[in-house]
Structure 1
Amino acid sequence: MRTIQKRLTWTMLLALFVACGSVFGQEQAQLLSFDQAMQMMLKQNPALLRQKEEIRQKEFEMKSKKGLHLPSVSISAQAVAMSDPLHLDLTPVSEAITPLYETLGTYGVFSGVANPDPATSSLMPTLTDELSTQAVRSQLLDAAEEIEMANWDETIQEENFALVSASFLWPIFTGGKIDGANKAADAEFKISKEELRHTEGLLLTELVTRYYGLVLGLQVVDLRTEMLVSMENHYSDAQKLFENGMIARVELLHSEVARNEAERELKKAKRNVEILRTGLNATLAGDSLPVVIPASNLFINPDVAELKAWIDNAKDLNPQLNQIQQKKELVDIKHTIEKNEYLPTIAAMGNYNLVDKDFSPYMPDWMVGVGMRWTLFNGMARKNNLRASETRHNQVAYAEEKANDDLEAYLVKLFHELQMQIEQKDELETTLELAVEYRSSAEKAFNEGFATSTTVVEANTKVMAVKTQRLNVLYQYDVALAYFMQTAGVPEQFIAFSKGECVITETL
């Protein structure tokens, strides 16, 4: 007849085989603490990596909005071909004034022309009428000849030309639109950072659920292994008693059925462990990881501060609340921008021709100026956009109020769940002591012929159930604690709560 100590020894050996030996020769197992798992998740989980890239995107967008205060400088090049050159034909003017010059140069009479000769100008300041007429007629006839010889059809621009020019545009006054764009980009950057914190919190709860779920699954395998060993020992004892005529065959069959049931449950528990391990690898994003063996244990930490302190801190630290507050600020910024649409936009501008080919010489090389654009009416769009932004402000305000109420209610729920699990743990300790004592009495009575196989199986099943409940209580506490820390806005404090003098861990 085997002793309880011998049974526990077999249990521990089989548990070790399940934890490590089942993967021996296939993949090397790796012990991984929860701290290590968390750091691994933070470094390589694709959801976090995507969120970090979004933060970088918002950071660059914020920097780009700051550049709106600076002038924009550009270089443009044009190559133009026209059907005909541009020209200015002044031939009618020539035809109109040529007869006048010819007539005056031939028949005109003039006087009072200044003496051009410095030697005689002092004696005769003005020429005689005859000399004055000759001098003026000569000049008029020369001018008439020049007019006739001149090109009165001037080409202003050739039909083909090319031009390279530099220009700038510098906003001077935009009605607060540039400042609003910068403030909006800063708010969106802060929203993305809070979104990262929220994602980290969600992944922490996922990691706790899967990591400690694997811990629970492995310990359930240990319990099922212990149960199988107990049922095999019971079946062996039942065989000996049946051979000695101390029990009926039905008792032997019952013990065999119990052994087969324990074996089936063990296989089921092992399959469940593989499922849990796959889920954990997905959270860790470690497809190339060896088989993970958790190094941390299920725990309970009864040292949780008063609920009011958690609620007060959560209203400042919860990332979802912070996102709503930033979105509220963003809505206010956009509302201000909508109001400023009624103001004009003023900008300085300039242009300088760098290089040209066959470009009109009559065009200036450079120009600078100031321009204004003021939309006076745009079909009531501004007014309706302003009203729409006011409704968005109200929506965010209501969402903030609802989120605050939900946050407090959820924290109260989780806090009481934590307290409930602590109470359940204490009550199950007493129940377990009674169940173990009852099992010992039932096995002893069966071996002496005073109890049935059913009694022994039920006693072992009860011990198994209580131990499983105790493990599940710790698991539910750990999961609830993770959600509590996430909702409170301090998911990183989970690790601190898993350690310390007040922490109660569970090992088999």
Structure 2
Amino acid sequence: MNSPCFLLTATLCLVTCAPVKAQPQAMTFETAWERVKSSSDQLAAAQAAVDGKRLQAQALQGLGGPVVSLSAAAYAYNANLDVNLDPVNQRLTQISQQLPIPLQNLPIPLPVPQFPASYTFNRHDTGTTKSISAVWPIYAGGASDAVRGFVAAQGSEARADADKTGHELATLLVQRYFGAQLAGKVAALRQAALDDIREHDAATAKMLSAGVISRVERLQAQAAYEEARRNALKAQDEAELASIALARTVKSETIVKPETPLFVLTEAIEPLPHFLEQALLRHPGLARVNAKKSQAEQLHQGQEALRKPQLFAFGQRELKTGHANWIGGLGVRWTLFDAVDRNALAAASNKQIEQAERSEAQARSDIGLLVEKNWRSVEQTRQQFLATAAGVALSREMLRLRTAALREGTGTALELIDAEVNQAKVETERAQVAYDYVVALARLLESCGLSEEFGRYIARADMKVMSP
């Protein structure tokens, strides 16, 4: 069976996860998608990023408003001041000598008063101080608006990433859910073919004993039986792997049995322009690019705000009774020169804006090409599925004819075995094409940001590939 995607993911799940219980649990695709949305760690992490940016933006709504602060301090100090008095002593001596009668020449000589060579003053005390102060930026050149806009743009980017994660998980669920459905159908087809071929193998054994057929025909029947047995075992193993992968995806402790069958819309879906228009409106990649552009624009505005003067009011008052000290007034700050080259920064932010604009143009082109590719894939697999109808009808008719021929003795058991193997092959190919159609549709919706509408297409489906 050509279904490597879901088999690979199933194998990875088996390696990394503990085994689930064997009791099957029936689940529709809608229920499985609700389980994924409510239990996915990826979605929870992406939503946490969105919530974090939302709270951050909410916290910055008052940015640029007044800031009031209360301060208090308890202090103790000890201050020592050493004073050199030698110059004073020298000056006193000079003054004494300049007197009309020096003090030493008086009838009673008086010594010139002298101070110590140095003196140390000491002060110490303890105390407390309390004050309230306020600063209110009146004009900051638009810096506050730029910061708020930048954070809001980051929130938009986080939202786009979360949407992208959701669309990718929806496509992954489609692959695993309908991959399990396909694997189960193939296993049932292989098992049914094995049961029929086992009966024919037993019949050829009796026919060989009766001498009706040759030993070569008997060996051919045995070889066909062994091949059918190997194919059935392989298909059953792949079905179990796919079921376990689906259980891991929906975080189920039991094996999940998908109830929603593979489907195909025999009529063409909406035309390509419809999906192109929706993709340009809803694709999370474009939303992310636009958020990056908005961030670059807000960064540029913030840098330009630093060139402008800033006006603010301020005030401070001691918290005490009596004559308290206070101060209040208006202040202006205008940076005339600093070491940062503001012109170069402005040019750099303009280049970031240009980069975002170029990225948006490229993203639009890439998304348009991806949408067209996926749309054509849906249409191609739809036509392929319709083309399998003739082969299925032929294989069923051949099986009916070979069964009747063997019953009437005009055909051989080997011919009937070939018809049964061919029917299982054709039915498997038809189911594979239906799976390819479903996955192509999921990828188309993901590329348009419309993954949530997948259920609407399930409801519209007029051709369903039911399990036998």
Same fold (TM over 0.5): yes
Q: Is the 8 A contact 1:349 1:370 kept in 2?
A: yes
Question: How many residue pairs are counted as aligned between the two chains?
Answer: 411
Distance 1:86 1:447, change over 3 A: farther
Say whether 1:42 aligns with 2:37: yes
- Correspondent of 1:353 among 310, 318, 337: 318
Letter of the structure 2 residue corresponding to residue 503 of structure 1: D
Residue of structure 2 in register with 1:299 after alignment: 263
SS in 2 for 1:349: strand
- Correspondent of 1:222 among 180, 188, 193: 188
Residue of structure 2 in register with 1:503 after alignment: 462
Paired with 2:124 and 2:54, the residues of 1 have a C-alpha distance of 50
SS in 2 for 1:167: strand
Say whether 1:330 aligns with 2:295: yes
Q: CA deviation at 1:248?
A: 1.5
What aligned pairs does 1:2-21 form with structure 2 within 5 A after superposition?
none
Q: Is the 8 A contact 2:201 2:225 kept in 1?
A: yes
Paired with 2:412 and 2:452, the residues of 1 have a C-alpha distance of 53
Letter of the structure 2 residue corresponding to residue 505 of structure 1: K
Distance 1:442 1:77, change over 3 A: same
What aligned pairs does 1:1-400 form with structure 2 within 5 A after superposition?
27-84=22-79, 158-286=124-252, 289-301=253-265, 302-354=267-319, 365-400=325-360
Which deviations, in whole Å up to 9, do the C-alpha atoms of 1:253-309 show, x marking residues without a partner?
2222222222222222222122222322332233xx322111100011234111112
Q: Is the 8 A contact 1:251 1:452 kept in 2?
A: no
Q: CA deviation at 1:404?
A: 0.6
Which deviations, in whole Å up to 9, do the C-alpha atoms of 1:18-57 show, x marking residues without a partner?
xxxxxxxx64321100011111111111111111111111
Letter of the structure 2 residue corresponding to residue 399 of structure 1: S
Which deviations, in whole Å up to 9, do the C-alpha atoms of 1:41-94 show, x marking residues without a partner?
11111111111111111111101211213212222233334441799xxxx9xx
Distance 1:449 1:251, change over 3 A: farther
Q: Is the 8 A contact 2:244 2:255 kept in 1?
A: no
RMSD value over aligned CA atoms?
2.7
Letter of the structure 1 residue corresponding to residue 142 of structure 2: G
Which deviations, in whole Å up to 9, do the C-alpha atoms of 1:412-450 show, x marking residues without a partner?
111111111111111111011112222333455556676
TM superposition score normalised by structure 2: 0.81
SS in 2 for 1:79: strand
Paired with 1:85 and 1:182, the residues of 2 have a C-alpha distance of 53
Distance 1:450 1:171, change over 3 A: same
Q: Is the 8 A contact 2:244 2:256 kept in 1?
A: no
Distance 1:241 1:75, change over 3 A: same
Which deviations, in whole Å up to 9, do the C-alpha atoms of 1:105-125 show, x marking residues without a partner?
xxxxxxxxxxxxxxxxxxxxx
Paired with 1:237 and 1:451, the residues of 2 have a C-alpha distance of 14
Identity of aligned residues (%): 26
Which deviations, in whole Å up to 9, do the C-alpha atoms of 1:224-247 show, x marking residues without a partner?
111111211220221122121111
Distance 1:449 1:342, change over 3 A: same
TM superposition score normalised by structure 1: 0.75
Q: Is the 8 A contact 1:84 1:159 kept in 2?
A: no
Letter of the structure 1 residue corresponding to residue 280 of structure 2: K
- Correspondent of 1:460 among 416, 420, 432: 420
Letter of the structure 1 residue corresponding to residue 442 of structure 2: A
Q: Is the 8 A contact 1:319 1:489 kept in 2?
A: yes
Paired with 2:250 and 2:221, the residues of 1 have a C-alpha distance of 43
Paired with 1:85 and 1:212, the residues of 2 have a C-alpha distance of 88
Segments of 5+ residues of structure 1 without an aligned counterpart are 1-25, 93-153
Residue of structure 2 in register with 1:433 after alignment: 393
Paired with 1:85 and 1:316, the residues of 2 have a C-alpha distance of 77
Q: Is the 8 A contact 2:78 2:124 kept in 1?
A: no
Distance 1:71 1:432, change over 3 A: same
Letter of the structure 1 residue corresponding to residue 462 of structure 2: V
Q: Is the 8 A contact 2:70 2:133 kept in 1?
A: yes
Say whether 1:415 aligns with 2:381: no
Distance 1:47 1:240, change over 3 A: same
Paired with 1:85 and 1:291, the residues of 2 have a C-alpha distance of 85
Paired with 1:400 and 1:273, the residues of 2 have a C-alpha distance of 43
Paired with 1:262 and 1:82, the residues of 2 have a C-alpha distance of 98
Letter of the structure 1 residue corresponding to residue 149 of structure 2: K
Q: CA deviation at 1:475?
A: 0.7
Q: Is the 8 A contact 1:51 1:195 kept in 2?
A: yes
Residue of structure 2 in register with 1:492 after alignment: 452
Q: Is the 8 A contact 2:191 2:232 kept in 1?
A: yes
Residue of structure 2 in register with 1:470 after alignment: 430
SS in 2 for 1:73: strand
Q: Is the 8 A contact 2:33 2:170 kept in 1?
A: yes
Q: CA deviation at 1:179?
A: 0.8
Paired with 1:204 and 1:271, the residues of 2 have a C-alpha distance of 25
Distance 1:275 1:212, change over 3 A: same
Q: CA deviation at 1:460?
A: 2.4
Residue of structure 2 in register with 1:110 after alignment: none
Letter of the structure 1 residue corresponding to residue 337 of structure 2: F
Letter of the structure 2 residue corresponding to residue 424 of structure 1: Q
Paired with 1:158 and 1:167, the residues of 2 have a C-alpha distance of 28
> Which entry has the higher C-alpha Rg, 1 or 2?
1
Q: Is the 8 A contact 2:146 2:302 kept in 1?
A: yes
SS in 2 for 1:367: strand
